[in-house]
Structure formats: structure tokens, C-alpha cells
Amino acid sequence: MNSETKTKASKKKAAVLKSDTNGKLDQIFDLYPREEDSLIMILQEVQDRLNWLPPEALDRVADELNVPRARVQGVATFYRAFSLEPRGEKVIKVCLGTACHVRGAQILVDELERRLDLKVSHGCTKDGRFSLETVNCVGACAMAPAIVVNENYYANVKPDKLDKMLKKEQQS
Ligand code: FES
């Protein structure tokens, strides 16, 4: 594919994604009263459906609810549940709490960054499948080091188990 064709394809893809985003936002606005009291619930719905809060979604929320854009940004920034960076469908959380750290969790982070070509807390893989985060303790210290991918727990993870874990998560 030459570069002109690639540019056209990526513009087309961006247009499709944008219309898809607007369609999802339309559905969300139909669910709640268009008033400031709905702000957090609407942001939560946007986060659930898009996996993050894109700037154009925040613009639209501000317009539809007639709330200052700065207020919407403030709420989106305040709550940890909201992500202002693209998030993958699956969020890989590597525990870096003490028990996991002393059992080599940082090596798992480094390996995952390398294998996924991704930095911790910075966006998602090119296919939109995975994001990578670190957390302090997932309550599985006896099985350290631990990784959680969405709802799935992986215990006693070693670097040579990562491929198997990624493959399983890729397929589910
Ligand atoms: S420190 Fe990792 S599960 Fe508790």
C-alpha cells in the first residue's frame, strides 16, 4: 500500500470511528436527563462504552448538559476511574506492591512493555486490545507476583508465562 492510499485509509477509519463515537454518545444522552446532575453518570457511561474519555466526547458532554467545559474536564481528571488516554479493551494490571515487587514484578512490567510495544499508563496497543497499568496490591500477596487482566487473576507469574497469558487474553 503506498503512502497516499494509507493516508486515505486512515482518514476513512478516523471518520468511521468518529461517527461510531457520536452514535454511542447519542445513545448515552438518551438515557439521562440533560442536566449537570447527570454529569458523572454520563461520563461513566462514556468510559464504559469507549474505554476512555476522548476530548471530543468531553466537548459534547459540556454542550449537551450546558456545563462549562472546564467543569467537565475537572470531574474527568478528578476520578481515577476515568481515563483521558485511550484504553485497551483489556487492561493488564501488574501488581507492584511489596510482595510482588520483591518477587520480580518489575521484570514483568519491563517484559510486557517490550512485548506490547507500550508504556505503562500511556494509551493502548495499536489494535486497541491492551493497556498496561501498575497497581499497589491486588490482595493476592501469597501468590505473588500477580497480574490482573480485567477480571482474570494470574498468580506466581514468571516472564516465561507471559506469552501464554497474552495469548489467552487475546483469544477471549
Ligand atoms: S503485593 Fe501484589 S498482591 Fe499484594
The pLDDT tens digits along the chain (172 residues) read 555 655 555 455 445 455 678 888 999 999 999 999 999 999 999 998 888 999 999 999 999 999 999 999 999 999 988 989 888 999 999 999 999 999 999 999 999 999 999 999 888 999 989 999 999 999 999 999 999 999 999 999 999 999 999 999 999 8
pTM of the model: 0.71
CATH number of 90-171: 3.40.30.10
- What is the CATH superfamily name and number for domain 3-78? NADH-quinone oxidoreductase subunit E (1.10.10.1590)
By most ligand atoms within 8 Å of CB, the mutation choice from 106, 138, 153 for ligand 1 is 138
Residue range(s) in the chain whose domain bears CATH number 1.10.10.1590: 3-78
The ligand 1 atom nearest the CA atom of 135? 2
Is the C-beta atom of 96 inside 6 A of ligand 1?
no
The ligand 1 atom nearest the CA atom of 97? 1
Could you tell me how far CA 5 lies from the centroid of its own chain? Answer: 30
Is the C-beta atom of 98 inside 6 A of ligand 1?
yes
Is the C-beta atom of 135 inside 6 A of ligand 1?
no
Q: Are 131 and 124 contacting, i.e. CB atoms less than 8 angstroms apart?
A: yes
Cell matching residue 71? 467543569
Cell matching residue 54? 476522548
Q: Are 128 and 145 contacting, i.e. CB atoms less than 8 angstroms apart?
A: no
Please give the DSSP secondary-structure letter assigned to residue 122: B
Antiparallel, parallel or unpaired: β 90-95 and 130-135: parallel
